[in-house]
């Protein structure tokens, strides 16, 4: 943060003392591709994230700078602009939040200066974009004295992704980043937005994030295709079943009615959404009752479903997760995030972490041909001023 504060003064000059902020990234422990299917998710905020130094301006100019993209230098736009502009690059997420908040009825009368630095690997699937959105949310709530609830801020972030950036994503990322608490997972019903905090007590285990180093861009991936496949499967089921979402179904009832879908691919996509929702509910019960082995088995089953039924893994994520599952001291591993690259997570016995990393690294390098990266994740607090 010291380096960032120094950069802020270099880029924006002297003036009022700026304030500091932090917004985390997130991992999803389990419950993948269930958020837009009306199911449950189980994410947690992590201590990797986006730091910000900011101060308000008296005019309507917004000036932003990122240490992660120094070649872009300072990007400027007017606070009242309404359209996504390609030349704004990452700053479109900042503008998008302002547009979304105004549509919710909040006033954004003046501009501000903001310097950021993220240590979430870009394109890793740990939600760097939602982290930035929630950072902007806490900054402008502060600067404009907005009576903006955390949930309203989350909804503005989702609207930014869906309507301004053009990514048809669910609400989980922003929710986890805004509501996160230390050593707590968030068990969230994406249909009702009811949630409960669940202690994630791993005692002698660590969460290891495994980065494929293969970038994935949601807008360019098959994410929207999977979503439309699930919507079509739901529409066919609704011809005879009184359901609002795939998350309303048990596996048993789903399997009794697959003939309504009548398409092998659509059946597989919907089966993942239904079974993953059940696994997420069971995972909450396992963690609540301290059954870590059961929790690990559910992670493994989640990855298998994402590979076989949802087909969003690929050789990189499969190599990481399946190699991890075979290592001593690992109770479970799976891909996390949207897939098509990005990251996996593994729950690893603390004193086996070094050997685990080396073994997975060696096999990944052999199979895929380039190096993965590893981070040990700690579950931390949500977006906030410091």
Catalytic residues: 173
Are 67 and 51 contacting, i.e. CB atoms less than 8 angstroms apart? no
DSSP 351: G
Return all residues near 198 (Cβ < 8 A) that are at least 6 apart. 42, 184, 185, 186, 187, 284, 287, 288
Are 241 and 257 contacting, i.e. CB atoms less than 8 angstroms apart? yes
| The two three-digit tokens of residue 233, written as one number | 């499967």
Are 173 and 155 contacting, i.e. CB atoms less than 8 angstroms apart? no
User: 99-123: b or e for each residue (b if 16 or more CB lie within 10 Å)?
Assistant: bbbeeeebebeebbbbbbbbebbeb
- Collect contacts of 233-240 with beta carbons under 8 A, ≥24 apart: 233/261, 233/263, 233/266, 233/267, 233/269, 233/270, 234/37, 234/270, 236/260, 236/261, 236/262, 236/266, 237/261, 237/270
DSSP 290: T
């Amino acid at each position: 943060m010291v380096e960032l504060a120094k950069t802020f003064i270099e880029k924006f000059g002297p003036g009022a003392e700026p304030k500091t902020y932090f917004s985390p990234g997130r991992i999803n422990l389990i419950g993948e591709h269930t958020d837009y299917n009306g199911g449950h998710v189980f994410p947690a905020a992590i201590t990797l994230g986006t730091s910000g130094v900011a101060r308000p301006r008296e005019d309507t100019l917004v000036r932003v700078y990122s240490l992660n993209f120094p070649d872009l230098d300072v990007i400027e736009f007017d606070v009242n602009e309404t359209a996504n502009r390609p030349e704004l690059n990452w700053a479109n997420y900042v503008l998008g939040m302002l547009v979304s908040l105004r549509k919710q009825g909040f006033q954004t009368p003046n501009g501000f200066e903001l310097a950021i630095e993220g240590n979430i690997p870009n394109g890793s699937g740990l939600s760097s974009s939602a982290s930035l959105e929630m950072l902007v949310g806490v900054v402008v709530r502060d600067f404009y004295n907005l009576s903006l609830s955390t949930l309203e801020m989350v909804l503005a972030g989702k609207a930014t992704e869906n309507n301004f950036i053009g990514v048809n994503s669910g609400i989980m990322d922003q929710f986890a980043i805004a509501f996160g608490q230390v050593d707590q997972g968030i068990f969230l019903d994406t249909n009702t937005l009811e949630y409960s905090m669940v202690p994630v007590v791993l005692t002698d285990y660590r969460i290891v994030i495994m980065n494929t180093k293969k970038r994935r861009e949601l807008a360019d991936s098959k994410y929207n295709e999977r979503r439309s496949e699930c919507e079509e499967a739901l529409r066919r089921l609704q011809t005879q079943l009184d359901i609002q979402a795939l998350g309303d179904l048990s596996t048993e009832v789903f399997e009794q009615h697959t003939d309504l879908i009548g398409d092998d691919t659509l059946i597989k996509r919907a089966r993942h959404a239904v079974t993953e929702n059940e696994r997420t509910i069971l995972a909450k019960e396992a963690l609540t009752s301290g059954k870590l082995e059961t929790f690990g088995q559910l992670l493994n089953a989640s990855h298998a479903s994402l590979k076989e039924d949802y087909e969003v893994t690929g050789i990189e994520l499969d190599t990481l997760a399946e190699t991890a599952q075979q290592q001593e001291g690992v109770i479970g591993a799976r891909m996390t995030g949207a897939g098509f690259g990005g990251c996996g997570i593994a729950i690893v016995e603390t004193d086996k972490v070094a050997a685990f990393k080396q073994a997975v690294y060696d096999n990944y390098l052999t199979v895929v041909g380039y190096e993965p990266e590893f981070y040990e994740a700690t579950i931390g607090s949500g977006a906030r001023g410091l």
